[in-house]
Amino acid sequence: MRIKGIACPSFLGGRGHTERRFLGAVSPGVEKQRVPLSGIVGALLVLLGATAILGWLVLGLGIVVKVDASEVFQLIREQQELALGLMVVLVVSGGALLWRSQIGRLATRLVEAEGSARAEREQTWIALGESEAGLHRAQAMARLGHVITGPDGSFESWSDTLPRLIGVEPQRMPRSTREWLDFVHPEDREKFRAKSIQAATGGGRVEVDYRLQRPDGAWIHVHQFIEPLEDRPAAGGNRRWFSTVQDVTERRRGEEALAQLAAIVESSDEAIIGKTLEGSVTSWNRGAEKLFGYAAAEMIGKPVSLLIPADRLDEELNILRGLRRGESIDHLETVRRRKDGSLVDVSVSSSPVLDSEGRTVGASKIAHDITGLKRALEERTRQQDQLIAITHRLATLQEKERLDIARELHDRVGQNLSMLSINLERLRGKSAGRESAERIGDCVAIVEAMGLVIQDVLIELKPSMLANYGLVDAVRWHARDFSRRTGITVEVIGDTDPALRLGPEVEMALFRIAQAALNNVAQHARAKSVQVSLERNGGRIAFRIRDDGIGLDAEQAMASGRWGLAGMRERAEAIGGALRIESLPGHGTRITVEAEIA
């Protein structure tokens, strides 16, 4: 049979990796030979020698077997009977022994044991390497490093990730706690020193948070766990300890941001409430306490429906359904109930709260007390209604005053001028002198001119066309006179059917607005043409005056109230309508009055 050399770890090599070979391989084809006594004695000396950790068993047959001494000793202990038998045979036979009888089986067992041990060691080394690589990756991902510190404060070993964590090259890594202290923020050094002493002397686990400055000047926050490696301190009274150092800068920033946000929420005057998608309250700030009267302890875990009046429960259910679908609610004006049972007007905004995967896991709700705002709006509305009523009354009084003035002009001034004209004509007929007749003729002409002026004034004060024929015909008549005086073309569009006439007050207000608008066009617009239109759509009208002039700044014009715009707006509001001006410099102006009609 052929037996090859068997490789085993050698304790003489320091780490079990050194192999030595003193003899060559055995000759092939050897089945059975005698073993000289000197060979057996040599083998036994090697096996039993106290200092021979690894040797070579040299057999007379020339068989070379590389063995681990500890394993051979174990086999001898297990096979004491075999060893004794061998010795007896050697004594009796004078050193002759059949190889296959005992030594062959022993060698075979040694070969098998060594192969199994080698495979087991290889698997162990592979597993250890994988574990170390996994640990290294895990520490790098977690921004984590570790260091073992001796009783004197010197660093015995550290992970490859630690120098990178503090931003230094491996050769510049601190070698002791004293050097490490140079990286610690001055305000944190005393805390770090106290915790280190506690870990070295106390024997318990210690945690400490502090700041480190990297060589580039950046400050990072670290969290360090310190744990003793020995139950009892060394001779100097200190222990060796194991520390893990983790960069928690991002976590601290997140915590600070959350703390700041929490402080803002807590100090806000707005009621800010967190709730589940089922409507249970999860957070309750001071603003909510102030608005609704419930303390946080009274509401957290309770249904938010405690705040909802009975007639608005469906409203809250609809809000929750929308939140589950990821929808937000913005500025919903509604009513909520306080702890004392009183109702409060609020504006509610609700938004879904999402987790890291974008799933809706809850909701936030902001409620703003709008009681004061509602009251202010109601008061403003009341004042506007009063103003409209006053404006309407003033417009009515103005029209009445116009009619009274027109009546006085017609009945008194007009009649007196007529009598004066008649008398002057009579005097001119009876006059003997030519000069007197001419003077009297001039007086008659003056009186007639005054009559025409008064007639125009009467038309302005009391447009008879409006009363007799309606708005469209009255505006068309006024537009012809306007075009004659200014040279600006005016087109009037509208239905003149008497059955579609508006009420007297509405027609008068729109007519006065048209008069004022045309007067502005003549004075300021530099327009060449104007279009006036009246449109009806069911119970609503739209009255428009549009020109092609130079235009104006509509907002500024309305705010200033110039060019009679304030009076036009008041007249529109007096009939329950609204006046709108649309204009851009260089693009003309359009004035629109929209109103509901009975």
- pLDDT of residue 65 exceeding 80: no
Q: What is the pLDDT of residue 270?
A: 87
Q: Which of 431, 462, 493 is the last residue of a domain?
A: 462
Quote the Cα angle for 358-362-368, to 5°: 120
Least confident among 82-91, 252-261, 579-588: 82-91
3-state secondary structure of 250: helix
Residue 259 maps to a domain: no
Q: CA gyration radius for the chain?
A: 56
Contacts 24+ apart (CB under 8 A), 281-285: 282/362
> Is residue 595 in a domain?
yes
Of the listed ranges 28-37, 467-476, 539-548, 565-574, the one predicted with least confidence? 28-37
Does residue 596 sit in the same domain as residue 479? yes
Domain of 364?
278-369
Q: What is the CATH number of the domain that holds 181?
A: 3.30.450.20
User: Which of 8-17, 83-92, 227-236, 322-331 is predicted with the least confidence, judged by mean pLDDT?
Assistant: 8-17
Cα 596 to Cα 578: distance, rounded to the nearest angstrom:
10
Note the pLDDT tens digit of each residue in 302-349: 999 999 999 998 998 899 899 888 889 888 999 999 999 999 999 999
Residues 6+ apart with CB under 8 A from 420: 447
> What is the number of domains present in the chain?
5
CA 249 and chain centroid, separation: 21
Look up residue 395 and give its two tokens: 């417009």
Q: Judge whether 495 and 536 are in contact, CB under 8 Å.
A: yes
- Same domain, yes or no: 537 and 507: yes
92 and 163 inside one domain: no
Residues 557 and 596 in one domain: yes
Q: Which candidate, 422, 500, 413, places its Cα nearest to that of 461?
A: 413
The closest alpha carbon to 455, from 493, 410, 411, belongs to 410
DSSP 3-state of 343? strand
Q: What is each CA distance from 269 to 290, 292, 404, in whole angstroms? A: 8, 12, 60
Choose between 25 and 109: higher pLDDT.
109
In a domain, 311, yes or no: yes
CA distance 234 to 229: 11
Q: Are residues 365 and 449 located together in one domain of the fold?
A: no
Residue 266 belongs to a domain? no
> What's the confidence (pLDDT) of residue 293?
93
Biggest CA–CA distance in the chain, Å, is 201
Residue of 292, 290, 297 lying closest to 309 (CA atoms): 292
Residue 267 lies in a domain: no
With 90 as the cut, is the pLDDT of residue 200 above it?
A: no
Residues 247 and 179 in one domain: yes
Specify the CATH number for the domain of residue 482.
Answer: 3.30.565.10
Residue 515: CB atoms within 10 A of its CB come to 18
Residues 483, 396 share a domain: no
- Name the pLDDT band for 460 (thresholds 50, 70, 90): low
Token pair of 321 as six digits: 């359904």
- Residue 422 falls within a domain, yes or no? yes
User: Does some domain include residue 229?
Assistant: yes
Q: Which residues contact 461 (CB under 8 A, 6 or more apart)?
A: 402, 403, 405, 406, 409
- Residue that finishes a domain, picked among 333, 350, 369: 369
Clarify whether residues 184 and 242 are in a common domain.
yes
Q: What is the pLDDT of residues 240-269, one digit of tens each?
A: 889 999 999 888 888 878 777 777 777 777
**155/214 same-domain check:** yes
pLDDT the model gives residue 36: 44
Q: Are residues 398 and 360 in the same domain?
A: no
Tokens standing for 276? 């589940």
Residues 65 and 176 in one domain: no
* Three-class DSSP category at 517: helix
Which value, to the nearest 10 degrees, does the dihedral of the CA atoms of residues 562, 564, 570, 572 take? -120
DSSP alpha helix (H) spans, 160-275 = 161-166, 177-181, 189-202, 249-267
Question: Do residues 540 and 595 make contact, with C-beta atoms less than 8 angstroms apart?
Answer: yes
pLDDT band at 98 (very low <50, low <70, confident <90, very high): very low
Q: How confident is the model at residue 131 (pLDDT cuts 50, 70, 90)?
A: low
Q: Which of 464, 488, 458, 487 is nearest to 477 (CA)?
A: 464
* pLDDT, tens only, 401-455: 766 776 666 666 766 777 777 777 777 767 656 777 777 777 877 877 777 676 6
Are residues 307 and 340 located together in one domain of the fold? yes
Q: Looking at 369, 389, 410, which one is the last position of a domain?
A: 369
Q: Is the pLDDT at 544 greater than 90, yes or no?
A: yes
Q: Tens digit of pLDDT for each residue in 356-402? A: 788 888 999 999 899 888 888 888 888 877 877 777 677 677 767 76
Q: What residue has token string 């061998």?
A: 86
Amino acid at 44: L
- Tokens encoding 168: 């230094």
CA 317 from centre of chain? 26
264 within a domain of the structure (yes/no): no
Distance between CA atoms of residues 320 and 309, nearest Å: 16
